[in-house]
A = this chain, B = another copy of it.
Amino acid sequence: MRVSLKDVAAHAGVSIKTVSNVVNNYQHVTPAMRERVQRSIDVLGYRPNLAARHLRKGRTGIIALALPELGNPYFAELAAAVIDAAAAHEYIVLLDHTGGHREQEILVSQGFRARVIDGLILSPIELETEDLRDRVENVPLVLLGERDYDLPYDHIAIDNVAAARAAVRHLNGLGRREVAFIGARRGRSEPAQLRVRGWREELTAAGLPADDGLVAATDGWGHADGAAAMNRILESGRRPDAVFAYNDPMAIGAMRVLHERGLRVPEDIAVVGFDDVVEGRFGAVTLTSVSPDKGAIGRLAVESVLARLGGNEVPAPRRVWADYRLVERESTLGRAAAGGGDRG
């Protein structure tokens, strides 16, 4: 069976504590003793039992990451960033997905799915402030993404309003006057609200139309939803000269529809997405997109969780802004101006 500290101690002819000292790199161990114990460890193939260590110390070395869906490359790339950031602190990541459904998000926030974790990073879509209000779970929680919560938890995000404004400003700067928004979500909860707000503020400031006829609500946030929304706008009779989509998959779905209808991007309609996923860099028309610094978000999230594990001085909850930039490509600049560039 599995070898325990006791077995190693017996083999090396020392006490359990001495072996434990070696395993945990305790300072006051003579080199000779360390080597002797290490030899026994190697010979027996000893590996510490983490369950026991966990039971004793109350730490697991695991943080959970709960994302809406992995199929969206933005979240997949974000997950990779979190895993790497966690690895830098010798933490491993337990991954869960919520489908963006409120009930799932509540369950996760209350620790029903994963109960062996030191901390939780949650990227909510439908979750409401009240759902978190009476959270009893005592593992640290960090929120990710664009929803606005007035709650005592760290929240990592980019400035979505400002980013959306930058995207729309870019379009206006190219002479586009009628900019549609694709991806406001149907129903009470409104994950896209900050991006819609940025879109509206910028257009209003420029004296351009920002009426509801230019906003296409959707049920989901994938390619197909973007395509359906684009179709709906065009069939409504509106003929915008630009589209700002909630995310890249929706933008790409919209572009597919434009292509099917014989409309040229960007000549007839310019398109801007959000998230800067790899896919947008290799279509027939490369996609201009808001590019959040995913590495920074992952890093900040992990650090934020771990900071709350110190125990002594727990930092006050704070809102952390990660960096972003607008990457301009063919879907707004056109092929000639965009060049091959920026496949980062």
Chain A interface residues (CB < 8 Å from chain B): 2, 45, 47-52, 54-55, 58, 60-62, 69-71, 73, 75-77, 79-80, 83, 87, 92-97, 111, 113-116, 136, 138, 222-224, 227, 249, 252-253, 255-256, 259-260, 278-279, 281-285, 340, 343
Copies, count: 2
Task: Tell me whether B60 and A49 are in contact (CB under 8 A).
Answer: no
CA–CA, A282 to B251, complex, Å? 10
Candidates B47, B136, B252, B260; contact of A340 at CB < 8 Å: B260
Tell me which residues across on chain B come within 8 A of A97, comparing CB atoms.
80, 83
Give the residues in chain B near A284, CB-CB below 8 Å.
Answer: 255-256, 259, 283-285
Which residues on the B side are within 8 Å of A116 (C-beta)?
Answer: 50-51, 54, 60-62, 116
Pairs of residues from A and B, 10 with the lowest C-beta to C-beta distance, nearest first: A284-B284, A51-B54, A76-B76, A95-B95, A51-B55, A70-B76, A223-B282, A50-B116, A70-B80, A256-B282
Q: Which applies to chain A's interface (DSSP): helix, strand, loop or mixed? A: mixed
Bound-state CA distance A75–B249 (Å) is 17
Cα distance, A45 to B281, chains bound together (Å)? 50
Instruction: Please indicate the chain B residues that have their CB under 8 angstroms from the CB of A51 in the complex.
Output: 51, 54-55, 58, 60, 116
Inter-chain contacts of A279 with B (CB < 8 A):
73, 223, 252, 279
Give the complex CA separation of A48 and B260 in angstroms. 56
Give min CB distance, A318 to chain B, whole Å.
26
List of B residues within 8 angstroms of A58 by Cβ: 51
B45 and A136 contact, CB distance less than 8 A: yes
Is the beta-carbon distance between B282 and A253 smaller than 8 angstroms?
A: yes
- Name which residue of chain B comes closest to A259, CB basis: B284
Taken together as a complex, chains A and B put the C-alpha atoms of A321 and B228 apart, in Å, by: 36
Contact of A343 among B92, B224, B252, B281 (CB under 8 A): B224
